Structure 1
Amino acid sequence: MRKKIFIRSLVFFIALILVAGSFVYLPYYVSKPGMAKELKPIIKVEDGYKEQGNFMLTTVRMGRANIYSYMYAKLSKYQEIYPLDEIRAEDESEEAYNVRQLYLMSSSKSNAIEVAFKKAGIPIKYDYNGVYVLNVLPDMPADGKLKPGDRIYQVDGKEFNSTEQFIQNISKKKEGDRVKLAFDRNNKKKDITLSLKRFEDNHTKKVGVGISLVDDKELEVSPKVSVQTDDIGGPSAGLMFSLEIYNQLTKTDYTKGYQIAGTGTISPNGTVGPIGGIEQKIIAADKSGAEIFFAPNENGSKKSNYQDAVKTAKDIGTDMKIIPVDTFADALNYLKTLKAK
């Protein structure tokens, strides 16, 4: 009887440890292949033109590692383990990280619209609303006072339009001077006065309140564009957004009936930037039936996303064509040479 009780207790204890292991997070992130998602249902250009094929964004699944996901990733060829400080900035909270990722996605949408409309020769109107706080540095005046996602729209009672103007206002002051900031948090207007402090690792003696910023600007375009990405974060879909928007703006269908995936950030001038997880995105695109994949070329670097993509494609034996691109124009020029299905 005692032996049975001991065995049951031991089994229960082991089971408890196994369950608890799922909730013990390690200082790592694990990424794995995500999905390739058609952009037609996500992006709508008012009265836009139809297309026979599809442009697709690609994603990776990223999450904090527990004991089991860490061990599985160690044994998996196409799962990657990243130390915490490679994903999140030093002392960056989970909340701040999520805010940053969602803003980067928002910025990616804005840049893609700008690139597509410029290429189509359609005018754009810009509305500047201040700057967003992306991150707050520890042990600086804003620490505990401002939060990621706050929108600052006034400095010392004066409105400004951009990060550059904000910095210009602050640079006129010296350490110990006070600055009054008006900001919006969750649609509630607030203001705060902070003393300026010199950045510890800055040899130029610049002062500030200890925040990293990005412009809060809105584009007014006609026809209207809506991009519904829900909770997808990050900037890596920028290139594919711009191609989908441009395709709906123009009579020519640049998909030409193909399933076209890809990745890469997009800047307002059309430059395509590198991203993380290219190997996992190749796998996601192949599983979704993509025939063509655009990969950032990084100006021909031997360690570019494109080179990693080619290696992975060969490794998994896909027939998908991997196309190197440095700019939006590179991708568009390639599509122009395609024969329609």
Structure 2
Amino acid sequence: MPRRTATLLTSTFLLIGALCAGILTTVPYAELSPGPTVNTLGRHDGKPVLSVDGERTYDTAGHLNMTTVRVTGVNYQMNLLEAVYGWLADDAAVVPHETIYPEDVSADEVEQQNAEEFSASQESAKVAALEELGYEIPTQTIVSSVVEDAPAHGRLHAGDAIVAVDGREVSSPEDVVDRVTAHEPGEDVVFTVVPAERATAAREAGEDLPTGPDAVREVTVPTIAAPEDGRALVGIGAGVAHVLPFEIDIELADVGGPSAGLMFALGLVDRLTPEDLTGGAFVAGTGTITEDGTVGPIGGVSMKTIAARDAGAEFFLTPEDNCAAAAENPPDGLTLVRVGSLDDALAALEDIREGNAEDLTRCAAS
């Protein structure tokens, strides 16, 4: 056999072997890629993303798109070739598997956490938007969680509204903590509560908590010592539920996590005010939001900017803590706008609709 032919065959076999090895060799990585975007002002799967019942709404123009990241599944085993391709591609990111799916957390737990964060982000977006528009939002102090096998388990339930502790009214979760920890471990605490079903019904109707003897009950719970510092505890988390002045529904299936909060809040403000926030422009964005309107960072920002530009966005509202990363390799034709609060985002939208894009605060690479 001629040397040239032998060399060619050897190289071919080595290449085939390397490809086979790359396919058969699995690596502990996951891949992020641009996910779908959804206009919060529009419809998704035939339903309005934002629905308001009990208050006047207005027609809107333009786009306020929330963005997502597509992630390989928890049981997906990436091979070496896929990892190398992801490292080299501009529209994918390869990260250690445990970054997305911690080893000590099950897939069901990850899914549950994402669902809870998504639900909490919706609530925060509603409150931030309504308070921005001048609505007063009363609150209920509630049992947000109950620790299994703790003294409160079976006595108190998630969603119960806490009216008083030891006969003294409470107005915040901090009041509940202070009253419980004022006890010595082993002592009893008396909670005055409105059961979850009645409390939820009052909240959804925009009414005060019922106060009659048929609605309120007293629950005595013994305390135990906290293992970390010996303080008295009963095994509940105290939180806040908001009493909204009218019904707001956010319909968006198959999405998890808190990163759509900013865009939900902007969508609600747009629906509840006569002026179009965007002036007809295609704006996308991301960011968590707190009830006071603070915008927080998210993961996968570079994938979200790609998704936004592919969908047709001209502007991308970017949490200030994500700006440097987003600006390292921005998609062509997409203006990255830095925002740290709902007010920042509204000011940016005013510049956009008035044609003053040169006044926008833009992201800059570090």
TM-score, length of structure 1 as denominator length? 0.71
The answer on whether the counterparts of 2:28 and 2:77 sit within 8 Å (CA) in structure 1 is: no
Cα shift at 1:333: 1.0
Aligned to 1:331: 345
Q: For 1:193 and 1:30, how far apart are their aligned partners in 2?
A: 48
Q: For 1:124 and 1:269, how far apart are their aligned partners in 2?
A: 13
Aligned to 1:244: 267
Q: Structure 2 counterpart of 1:246, which letter?
A: V
Aligned to 1:44: 51
Q: For 1:252 and 1:111, how far apart are their aligned partners in 2?
A: 23
Cα shift at 1:36: 1.0
Q: For 2:220 and 2:252, how far apart are their aligned partners in 1?
A: 34
Q: Structure 1 counterpart of 2:174, which letter?
A: E
Q: Does 1:173 align with 2:183?
A: yes
Task: Give the counterpart of 1:112 among 125, 145, 149.
Answer: 125
The answer on whether the counterparts of 1:142 and 1:194 sit within 8 Å (CA) in structure 2 is: no
Q: For 2:275 and 2:165, how far apart are their aligned partners in 1?
A: 51
Q: For 1:152 and 1:142, how far apart are their aligned partners in 2?
A: 16
Cα shift at 1:272: 0.7
Q: Structure 2 counterpart of 1:312, which letter?
A: N
Q: For 2:115 and 2:67, how far apart are their aligned partners in 1?
A: 16
Cα shift at 1:329: 1.1
Cα shift at 1:91: 4.9
Cα shift at 1:169: 2.9
Aligned to 1:215: 239
Q: Structure 2 counterpart of 1:99, which letter?
A: Q
Q: For 1:197 and 1:285, how far apart are their aligned partners in 2?
A: 51
The answer on whether the counterparts of 2:35 and 2:69 sit within 8 Å (CA) in structure 1 is: yes
Moved more, 108-117 or 157-166: 157-166
Q: Structure 2 counterpart of 1:266, which letter?
A: I
Cα shift at 1:297: 0.6
Q: Equivalent residue of 2:95, what SS?
A: strand
Q: What runs of 5+ residues in structure 2 fail to find an aligned partner?
A: 1-23, 44-48, 201-216, 356-366
Residues 309, 141 of structure 1: alpha-carbon distance in 2 compared, 3 angstrom cutoff: same
Task: Give the counterpart of 2:329 among 303, 309, 312.
Answer: 312
Q: For 1:64 and 1:177, how far apart are their aligned partners in 2?
A: 48
Q: For 1:252 and 1:235, how far apart are their aligned partners in 2?
A: 27
Cα shift at 1:319: 0.7
Aligned to 2:69: 60
Q: For 2:288 and 2:77, how far apart are their aligned partners in 1?
A: 32
Q: Does 1:128 align with 2:140?
A: yes
Residues 307, 107 of structure 1: alpha-carbon distance in 2 compared, 3 angstrom cutoff: same
Aligned to 1:31: 32
Q: Equivalent residue of 1:76, what SS?
A: helix
Bigger radius of gyration among the two: 2
Residues 27, 150 of structure 1: alpha-carbon distance in 2 compared, 3 angstrom cutoff: farther
Q: Equivalent residue of 1:220, what SS?
A: coil
Q: Structure 1 counterpart of 2:63, which letter?
A: N
Q: Structure 2 counterpart of 1:308, which letter?
A: A
Q: For 1:88 and 1:168, how far apart are their aligned partners in 2?
A: 36
Q: How does 1:149-164 map to 2 (within 5 A)?
A: 150-151=158-159, 153=161, 162-164=172-174
**What percent of counterpart residues are identical?**
28
Aligned to 2:281: 258
Q: Equivalent residue of 2:280, what SS?
A: coil
Aligned to 1:301: none
Q: Equivalent residue of 2:284, what SS?
A: strand
- In the TM superposition, what whole-angstrom CA distance separates every residue of 1:304-329 from its partner, at most 9, and x where no partner exists? x111111231xxx4211110111111
Cα shift at 1:150: 3.9
The answer on whether the counterparts of 2:176 and 2:238 sit within 8 Å (CA) in structure 1 is: no
Residues 273, 214 of structure 1: alpha-carbon distance in 2 compared, 3 angstrom cutoff: farther
Measured on the aligned residues, the alpha-carbon RMSD in Å equals 3.8
Residues 321, 151 of structure 1: alpha-carbon distance in 2 compared, 3 angstrom cutoff: same
Aligned to 2:17: none
Q: For 1:96 and 1:312, how far apart are their aligned partners in 2?
A: 34
Moved more, 171-180 or 105-114: 171-180
The answer on whether the counterparts of 1:73 and 1:81 sit within 8 Å (CA) in structure 2 is: no
Q: Structure 2 counterpart of 1:174, which letter?
A: E
Q: Structure 2 counterpart of 1:259, which letter?
A: F
TM-score, length of structure 2 as denominator length? 0.66
Q: Structure 1 counterpart of 2:133, which letter?
A: A
Q: For 1:61 and 1:265, how far apart are their aligned partners in 2?
A: 18
Cα shift at 1:98: 3.2
Aligned to 2:252: 229
The answer on whether the counterparts of 1:141 and 1:197 sit within 8 Å (CA) in structure 2 is: no
Q: Equivalent residue of 1:256, what SS?
A: coil
Aligned to 2:300: 277
Residues 60, 219 of structure 1: alpha-carbon distance in 2 compared, 3 angstrom cutoff: farther
Q: Structure 2 counterpart of 1:49, which letter?
A: Y
Q: For 2:100 and 2:240, how far apart are their aligned partners in 1?
A: 24
Q: For 2:100 and 2:188, how far apart are their aligned partners in 1?
A: 34
Q: Equivalent residue of 2:328, what SS?
A: helix
